[in-house]
Amino acid sequence: MTHGTLVHWREWGDEAFAEAKAQDKPILLGISAVWCHWCHVMDRGIPGDPVHTGVYNDPQIAAYINEHFIPIRVDNDQRPDINARYNMGGWPTTCFLTPDGELIYGATYLAPAQMRQLLPRVVEVWHNEREDVLAHLRANAQAIETPPPDTTALDAETVNNTVLTLITRNYDRRNGGLGGGQKFPMSDVWALLLARYHQSGDTALLDMVVQTLIAMGTRGMYDRVAGGWFRYSTTPDWSVPHFEKMLEDHARLLPLYARAAQCCQLAGKHAEAETLLGVVHSALEYLQSTLLHDDARATYFAGSQDADEHYYMLSRVERAQHAPPFIDWRLYTDWNALMVSALLEVSVVLERPALAELALRVWHTLARMCVQEDGCVVHSLIPAEATFSPATLRGLLGDQAALAKASLDLAQHLPELRAEALSLAERVLRFAVQHLRAPNGAFCDTPANENSKGLLRVRIQPITDNSTIAEALLTLSFLADAPEWREMARQALAVFAEEYRRYREHAAAYALAVWRAAHLPDEIAIVADSDETLARWARAAHLPYAPWRVVHLLHAERDASHIAARGYPVQRRPVAFRCKGTTCSAPIFDPEALTASTAA
């Protein structure tokens, strides 16, 4: 792994750590990403800039590193587990570790002058102040076991009102978004506000969502030439972006924009709805024309497109004369699973069934290439190779949760895949329960591994991924009539009942998951004699926006035992029932009436 620099980078693994121990050298850990502008600057510098001349291509700096350190390079997207433990607040991250992987010191971007001063100081500390460093590390390594929390203390109203208050206090009423500095998409925040608007009818919440989404989709953070969102804005008015484009952001923003447009239409905000839908169409065009790989072997979306300020400032005609920025064609399971869910939802709102067919092809690729027999999900791979080594990262909570949710969404949209998708979701979730669930009921981000190096020995319980897997468990509990899954979800969420406040607006996904865990969903059961009819009725059921809905697609012949167990009167078909717990509506015999019922 050369990265085009003079530093002799090693892979993270046993060999590099053994080398550090044998030579008694500290480790220089560099965490970067293929889309990261300042990572490229640290590697190669900025032409003509007298300060940012490049660190790792500087002959003197590189020689000093190669002599006194064991340098290890990690890609953030391929190793999110390492990034979660060592990232110092951005990319690139520059860390100095002991040969056992414990953190001595860390920073983000370092200019050549800073690195020249820092490198000999780290060497001096390691050789002359080692005992003090190690004593400090030992003192900070005490693990605390916590008992399972009381799930009855999980107060959904308190959690939601607290997080909502934190968001509204930090809202930028002039520009939209949160805070007065750089702005990130914060998709979970606006999803929470949209759900709360739907529940309360408070138009101020809808206005905050719409102002922010329109600003993100019409100013500098959106590529108005080729479509697609840039990663974030460096200015509070969304005018100056950081130019990389991330698949994850697109997967989260697409359904949010589509549903916000629907809410605008119902609220009489027709111009705003048109603007939002225009952004959705443009972003979909970008994704399918630029990031989509679709052939007989695999269908998936690339992970990112690199930042290139010069290129993105050009017109369409001018861009055609230049090579486009680098695209990372690696398949990332969690982000592609998010895209499956997004495409299914947007296909209904836009009335474009071809998007659901695309979602199905992506899901088939993930199910075939990325899931092992025991339900363990591989984090990333290059489909042309599709081979796994013992070092292949797998079993991450984020991948397990996202693929389980995508499978459950598929089961509620495409009736011919219902049984297969439910089976995969259950297999993936059972692996998570067996290998990731801690004694306190929350889920850790990685499986336990006694051979893990450095801070990888510490198992983290991330609040957002716990919220995602809790929602998957909740959905499966209703689709499979298995209440034990719901109780697991409540236990996982209850672990954060006291500490969620410290996450502030970043607890938005948690607040929405807690609300769903405390309330019964709108359950819609549809019974028909053909998959074609079921699919048509499924689109009618999903068309209105609802923040908590479960759709049962029941084939009269295949699912006869399930229908009988539920006691539905189905002599006349197709038919639908809208239920809340054990209370159901009268039979509904028209898909338009079903849409009207679910929109009420």
The domain segmentation of the chain, as residue ranges, is 14-139, 521-600
| Helical (H) or strand (E) element with 490 | helix 483-494
Sorting pLDDT into bands at 50, 70 and 90, what band is 5?
Answer: confident
Cα–Cα distance, 353 to 343 (Å, whole number): 10
**Section 285-300 average pLDDT:** 97
What torsion, rounded to 10 degrees, do the Cα atoms 554, 555, 559, 560 define?
A: 110
CATH class for the region spanning 14-139: alpha beta
Least confidently predicted of 168-182, 322-336, 349-363, 558-572: 558-572
What pLDDT score does 390 carry? 64
Residue 505 has pLDDT above 60, yes or no: yes
Average pLDDT for the chain: 94
**Section 416-432 average pLDDT:** 97
What pLDDT score does 138 carry? 66
Residue 422 has pLDDT above 60, yes or no: yes
Residue 149 has pLDDT above 70, yes or no: no
* Phi (first) and psi of residue 72, to 5 degrees: -125, 135
| Two tokens, residue 361 | 């092809």
What pLDDT score does 145 carry? 45
Same fold, 14-139 and 521-600: yes
Express each pLDDT in 334-349 by its tens digit: 999 999 999 999 999 9
- Are 560 and 505 in contact by the 8 Å Cβ rule? The answer is no
Name the CATH topology of 521-600. Glutaredoxin (3.40.30)
Residue 109 has pLDDT above 50, yes or no: yes
Residue 246 has pLDDT above 70, yes or no: yes
What torsion, rounded to 10 degrees, do the Cα atoms 470, 473, 479, 482 define?
A: -130
Sorting pLDDT into bands at 50, 70 and 90, what band is 130?
Answer: confident
**Section 274-289 average pLDDT:** 98
Can you list the positions of beta strands (E) in 119-244? 232-233, 241-242
What torsion, rounded to 10 degrees, do the Cα atoms 570, 574, 578, 583 define?
A: 0
In this structure, the strands spanning 93-97 and 70-75 are unpaired
Of 460, 468, 393, whose CA–CA distance to 87 is shortest?
460
